[in-house]
A and B are shown apart, each in its own frame.
Chain A
Amino acid sequence: MRTVFRLYRVPVPALAVASLVLMTAALTLVFYVAPNDANQGFSQRIFYFHVSIAFTAYACFAAGAWKALRYLWKRDQLADLESYVAVHQGVIFGTLVLLTGSIWAKISWGHWWLWGEDELVLFLVLFLFYCAYFMLRFSVDPGPQRANFSAVYALFGVVLIPVSFLAIRIAKSFVHPEVFTLHGPNFGGWILVTYCVAQAALLVFAHTLYRVELASKRLDARLRELRLA
């Protein structure tokens, strides 16, 4: 837990530099080091960022739910803002998951989208659920009621994450590749190293964006208070 708080104190410029270094390393590994997949060939290289972005989106939604719980528990206004920013980040990364996934589906399966794929449809449901979060939030006037509604909604959404993640294991009649099993990842060597670096890069990058957006939102709120004073 202390590590989490310490991570929070890391200055944004340091996080930005770490993001840049990790992202460069990840792209170098993806295009120059990782071997071609035996089945999918070169197109499998989409996997490194597609899966990493998907897990980053899940992490953002989970963080949003955690902050929502914190708001409901402690009535901390900052936790409400943090929850909102985390959900916003999740939706941005969710959009990228859907776009990169569609491109990968087109080259692997010959279709941009398959409605018969539970994994795809459940992720879309999760994504649309969180898109509706903003409609709910901005349909209520600012204040405790808006924060309460948003927090409860963000908490409900977190239930969809394990459903979306486990859908690939629950159903068996689809073609989406199963990357992680109970016995660990379905790959090793440079593919695993590349994936881990890409995942670390995306998580640090998401945290950097989160901190920047949170800082701007807090500044915006303080300016609004100053104007009213």
Chain B
Amino acid sequence: MTTAETYVTAAYCVVFAGVLVYVVIMALKLQRLEREVDSLERAAHTAPEDERETIEVG
């Protein structure tokens, strides 16, 4: 591999690595959001079924 080829390869690898890092960060963020949705879902399921105030009708 010539010096020029090495540098060109390095430049394209830098672009690829940069994009890869960005995608990994986005994936981690989406994982966190998924965990938050899960915890909200659990909180919704564990809440008492009927918290409405009872009133007399009729």
Contact = CB atoms under 8 A, between A and B. Distances in A.
B12 A106 contact: no
Bin the interface of chain A by size: 20 to 34
B8 A43 contact: yes
Contacts of B15: 49, 53, 96, 100
Interface string A205-224: 00001001100100110010
Nearest to A100: B11
A42 B3 CA distance: 10
Interface of B, secondary structure class, is: helix
Given A43-B4, A213-B26, A95 B11 contact: no
A96 B15 CA distance: 6
Contacts, number: 58
A219 B40 CA distance: 13
B10 to A, nearest CB: 6
* Residue from the set B3, B8, B30 with the largest chain A CB neighbour count within 10 Å: B8
A103 B14 contact: yes
A216 B14 contact: no
A100 B7 contact: no
Contacts of B40: 223, 226-227
Nearest to B14: A99
A99 B12 CA distance: 10
A5 B40 CA distance: 34
Contacts of B12: 27, 46, 49
Contacts of A50: 11
Interface of B: 2-5, 7-8, 10-12, 14-15, 18, 22, 26, 29-30, 33, 36-37, 40
21 contacts: A42-B4, A46-B8, A46-B11, A49-B15, A50-B11, A95-B18, A100-B15, A103-B10, A103-B11, A103-B14, A104-B7, A107-B7, A216-B29, A216-B33, A219-B33, A220-B33, A223-B33, A223-B36, A226-B40, A227-B36, A227-B40
